[in-house]
Homo-oligomer: A and B are copies of this chain.
Amino acid sequence: MAENENPIRFGILGCAEIARKVCRAIHLSPNATLVAIASRSIDKAKQFAARNKLSSGKVKLYGSYEELLDDPIVDAVYMPLPTTLHVKWGVMAAQKGKHLLLEKPTALDVNMFDEMFEACECNGVQFMDASMWYHHPRTAKMKEVMSNSELFGRVKSIHSSSSYCGTSQFLENDIRVKPDLDSLGALGDAGWYCIGAILWTMNQKLPTTVTALPTTQRNSSGVILSCSASLYWDEEQTIATFYCSFISHETMDLAVSGSNGSLHFEDFIIPYEENSAAFSFTSGAKFVDLHIGWNVKPKEVEVPTQLPQEAMMIQEFSRLVKGIRDVGVQPDTTWAQTSRTTQQVLDAVKISIDNGYKVVEM
Contact = CB atoms under 8 A, between A and B. Distances in A.
B259 A264 contact: no
Interface stretch (A5-13, A90-98, A108-116, A269-277): A269-277
B241 A228 contact: yes
Contacts of A272: 293-294, 297
Contact of A249 (B250, B259, B280, B291): B259
A63 interface: no
Contacts of A21: 290-292
Contact of A159 (B241, B245, B294): B241
A304 to B, nearest CB: 14
B24 A290 contact: yes
Chain A interface mostly? strand
Interface stretch (A197-205, A211-219, A342-350): A211-219
Nearest to A226: B156
Interface string A273-302: 110000010110111001111100110000
How big is the A interface, by class? 35 or more
Contacts of A243: 156-157, 159, 239, 241, 257
A164 interface: yes
A209 interface: yes
A238 interface: yes
Contacts of A75: none
A308 interface: yes
A236 to B, nearest CB: 10
Contact of A247 (B156, B286, B287, B290): B156
A230 interface: yes
A261 interface: yes
Given A249-B285, A259-B248, A293-B273, A215 B232 contact: yes
Contact of A294 (B153, B267, B298): B267
B165 A259 contact: yes
A298 B251 CA distance: 11
A91 to B, nearest CB: 28
B294 A270 contact: yes
A18 interface: yes
A20 B288 CA distance: 13
A253 interface: yes
A94 to B, nearest CB: 27
Contacts of A156: 163, 226, 243, 245, 247-249
B290 A250 contact: no
A161 interface: yes
Contacts of A287: 164, 250, 270
B241 A230 contact: yes
Contacts of A230: 213-214, 228, 230, 241
Interface string A52-92: 00000000000000000000000000000000000000000
A293 to B, nearest CB: 5
Question: Sorted from nearest, which 5 A-B pairs have the closest CB atoms?
Answer: A250-B285, A215-B239, A156-B248, A157-B243, A241-B241
